[in-house]
Structure 1
Amino acid sequence: MGISIPSVLGQMIVFLLFVMFTMKYVWPPIMKAMEEREAKIRDGLAAAEKGKAALAEASSKSDEELKAARVQAQEIIAAANKQATQLVEKAKGDATTEQQRIIASGHAEVEQMAAQARDALRKQVADLAVSGAEQILKREVDAKAHAEILDRLAARI
């Protein structure tokens, strides 16, 4: 079998018809599918870029809100510390006032008890003096007896 011009020519015509058929009926759907796929990829890349931008924006917003929350937390802590200090100072003032009141009350009570003790001692001394005078007057005037009575009075005091 040899290659002859009419068979080569026939093969060329058949090949040409095959190429034209392919270009008219096969190639357009393939090209359409490729263009659709390219459009989907392009849209996906654009959506990814938008998502990346939105993520960066959300991240910066969350950082700003976190900073604001930290500042607010610090302010709350500072206010709580200030209030605690004020409460402690008020409690110290109240305690000092109460301490002074208790001390004054104690001094007054001590003074009152001392006055009562002095009065009781005065009364006892007066009673002893009267008792001693009675005993001296009941006996005769005798120096030895007077000394003895005074010694007993001194022992009672």
Structure 2
Amino acid sequence: MSITGTLIVQMIVFLILVWFTMKFVWPPIAQALDQRAQKIADGLAAADKAKADLSAANQRVEAELSQARNDSAQRLADAERHAQSIIEDAKNRATEEGNKIIAAARAEAEQQAVKAREVLREQVAALAVKGAEQILRKEVNAGVHADLLSRLQTEL
């Protein structure tokens, strides 16, 4: 065989091999490559979607944390106002109770002062009677002179 015949036979075999490869081998490889490319594209899309979902979730978490902080600050302020209100009420009640105690003590002191004046008047009247007895050198009868003694008591 000559080179030309061999070359023609090799070209025919090569063309059959190319046709066989294009018909039976290349489509499954191309399909596998397309599927692989599609899976990669789907994975990248899913990753992008997950990244967007994560970002949205982080924003929601931050918003809820901010809301929770605001709520807790509001509750804390309300509790402080309530505590101040309770303290003010307690102070007012204590002041009122103190004023009542002072008023009662003043009234009691006034009553004791009146009683002391009465006792003092009686003692002064008794001393005045004794002094008058000594001056007159005779006994003064309290029953007989009751009117005189009561006038002396009111004058003192």
Do both share a fold (TM > 0.5)?
Answer: yes
2:19 is matched with: 20
1:37 is matched with: 36
Percent identity (aligned):
50
- 1:43: Cα distance to partner? 1.1
2:153 is matched with: none
Q: Write out per-residue CA displacement over residues 39-60 of structure 1, whole angstroms, 9 at most, x where no aligned residue.
A: 1111111112222222222222
- 1:36: Cα distance to partner? 0.7
Structure 1, unpaired ranges of 5+: 140-157
Q: Which amino acid aligns with 2:83?
A: A
1:109 is matched with: 108
1:70 and 2:69 aligned: yes
Q: Which amino acid aligns with 2:16?
A: L
- 1:97: Cα distance to partner? 1.0
TM-score for both structures, normalised by structure 1:
0.71
- 1:134: Cα distance to partner? 5.0
1:85 is matched with: 84
- 1:26: Cα distance to partner? 1.4
Structure 2 Cα separation of the partners of residues 127 and 12 of structure 1: 164
What is the alpha-carbon root mean square deviation over aligned residues? Answer: 2.5
- 1:135: Cα distance to partner? 5.9
Query: Which of the pair has the greater relative contact order for Cα pairs under 8 Å at 6+ separation?
Result: 2
Q: Which amino acid aligns with 1:70?
A: R
Structure 2 Cα separation of the partners of residues 4 and 62 of structure 1: 79
Structure 2 Cα separation of the partners of residues 97 and 124 of structure 1: 40
Alignment coverage as a number of residue pairs: 137
